[in-house]
Amino acid sequence: MHPLIQLLKKKNKLAIGLMSGTSVDSIDAVLVEIAGAGISTRFRQRAFIAHPFPKGFREFVLHNSLPGSGNVETISTLNVLLAQFFADAVHAVARKARIPLSKIDLIGSHGQTVHHLPSPQNFFGTDVRSTLQLGDPSTIAKLTGIVTVGDFRPADMALGGQGAPLVPYFDFIAFRSATKHRALLNIGGIANLTVLPKNCTVNDVRAFDTGPGNMLVDALMKKLYKKDFDRGGSAALDGEILPELITTMFSEPYFAQKPPKSTGRELFGEQFIAKILNLSRGARSQDIIATATEFTPLSVYQQYVRFLQRKFPIDELVVSGGGAHNMFMMEALGRYFSPARVTTSNALGISSDAKEAICFGLLANETIAGNPSNVPAVTGASRPTVLGKICLP
Ligand SMILES: Nc1ncnc2c1ncn2[C@@H]1O[C@H](COP(=O)(O)OP(=O)(O)O)[C@@H](O)[C@H]1O
Ligand SMILES: [Mg+2]
């Protein structure tokens, strides 16, 4: 039987979701059992791993994500190399769950973003907006023998959307509430906020990238402490806030821009870091880290107040992503959003580390079912649409 017909006939599927975010810290791979599709989807996590990249790989990817230092030869290589790493992660998570690959029905892979250009640029008299995620899905399908869906973002962009954020559809499926205005905050390299008003339909969902998540802190930890990140937020907890630095960071126009909006390293990468270091010359390292750490919860809160609070005063904020491990950020969020309850998604039964990977497993399931999974109210696309490319093994 045709593999897609076989898949369509199955009520319960085993899917693997793969995610590597802007932090390029590891490949998150999750094995989930999925029943149904669309609004009635049910799912259960079976195994999760953060599959490591080789030493130096993060720096290599970041270097090649920048205009000027990236080159077409390494981009071509990375596209396949990443797919090989993703396939390794598939093998590893299946091994952890003690499930043979032959029993796995589907892979959903986000890919590694190396560039995200959601604003129109004029080339040859034509406006073009683009985004590039590496880790070729057809290679993953061939190396694992599993139907693979990848490259979710371009479809939304083709219809005028930002191609991001895509997690809100999953948030709607997994977290909507009949009794509470609930917000979801994922703090990866970039932070994004989803608001699910009480009893919402998918058209009521609001979401946007609020700006940097861990990205600034990670880059500053590298420069000031030669570490990849601030474990637990301990350096920040030793420091004091530098108010002038906060003011300068807010001068980036992105924060005043109305949603729909999405961002990446293009705005909050090297140049932004150079500006911070320049302005904070002479300050103690822990104070610079504390300030950069404070900036994430503060910028989330300020934009919530500006763009959402009046219509959707939230009762609960549910945090996920690596930033959920940063005690300084969690404490600051609790303070800003009080009296709303601030928790991690673990408290609602969904691993805060696995959440985004689970999302891409579920988005692949939607694509196979032929269901749209962008949220036009969030991305700005002209209509709901089916996302991704389906690759047969
Ligand atoms: N124990 C921890 N303490 C503090 N920060 C952490 C911890 N674990 C992860 N992080 C932060 O989370 C980042 C990874 O988060 P993740 O959600 O995987 O982001 P992305 O989606 O961008 O890859 C790391 O780069 C680091 O900044
Ligand atoms: Mg990550």
Let me know whether 211 and 254 are in one domain. yes
What is the number of domains present in the chain? 2
Let me know whether 361 and 293 are in one domain. no
Residue 320 Cβ inside 6 Å of ligand 1? The answer reads no
Residue 21: is its pLDDT beyond 90? yes
pLDDT of residue 34: 98
Let me know whether 194 and 341 are in one domain. yes
* Structural domain range at position 42: 3-166+353-391
Task: Find the ligand nearest to 228 CA.
Answer: 1
Which ligand 1 atom minimizes the distance to the CA of 320?
A: 17
Residue 22 Cβ inside 6 Å of ligand 1? The answer reads yes
Task: Find the ligand nearest to 218 CA.
Answer: 1
357 C-alpha to ligand 2 centroid (Å) = 9
Which ligand 1 atom minimizes the distance to the CA of 23?
A: 22
**123-179: pLDDT as tens digits:** 999 999 999 999 999 999 999 999 999 999 999 999 999 999 999 999 999 999 999
pLDDT of residue 254: 96
6 C-alpha to ligand 2 centroid (Å) = 32
Let me know whether 161 and 56 are in one domain. yes
List the CATH number of the domain containing 130.
Answer: 3.30.420.40
Which ligand 1 atom minimizes the distance to the CA of 228?
A: 25
pLDDT of residue 274: 96
Let me know whether 122 and 80 are in one domain. yes
Which ligand 1 atom minimizes the distance to the CA of 231?
A: 3
Let me know whether 370 and 341 are in one domain. no
Q: In sequence order, what DSSP letters do the residues of 155-222 get, joined into one string?
A: HHHHTT--S---HHHHHHHHH--SS--EEEEEESSEEEEEEE-TT--GGG-EEEEEEESSHHHHHHHH
213 C-alpha to ligand 1 centroid (Å) = 9
Let me know whether 251 and 139 are in one domain. no
**246-255: pLDDT as tens digits:** 999 999 999 9
**83-138: pLDDT as tens digits:** 999 999 999 999 999 999 999 999 999 999 999 999 999 999 999 999 999 999 99
Let me know whether 264 and 301 are in one domain. yes
Contacts of 75 (CB under 8 A, 6+ apart): 64, 114, 132, 134
218 C-alpha to ligand 1 centroid (Å) = 9
Mean pLDDT calculated for residue range 219-235: 97
Task: Find the ligand nearest to 214 CA.
Answer: 1
Residue 141 to residue 34: CA distance in whole angstroms = 19
pLDDT of residue 266: 85
Query: For atom 15 of ligand 1, which residue has the closest CA?
Result: 322
Task: Find the ligand nearest to 187 CA.
Answer: 1
Query: For atom 6 of ligand 1, which residue has the closest CA?
Result: 322
Q: Which two tokens stand for residue 366?
A: 């939607």
Q: How far is CA 168 from CA 96, 131, 174, 205, in A?
A: 29, 18, 10, 7
Let me know whether 344 and 215 are in one domain. yes
pLDDT of residue 265: 87
The pick from 58, 217, 234, 326 for probing ligand 1's pocket by mutation, whose C-beta has the most ligand atoms within 8 angstroms, reads 326
Let me know whether 23 and 121 are in one domain. yes
Let me know whether 152 and 194 are in one domain. no
Let me know whether 121 and 216 are in one domain. no
Residue 184: is its pLDDT beyond 90? yes
Neighbours of 342 (CB within 10 A): 21
What's the predicted TM-score (pTM) here? 0.96
Mean pLDDT calculated for residue range 34-57: 97
Return mean pLDDT, the chain: 97
Residue 69: is its pLDDT beyond 90? no
The position carrying tokens 């109210």 is 377
**316-347: pLDDT as tens digits:** 999 999 999 999 999 999 999 999 999 999 99
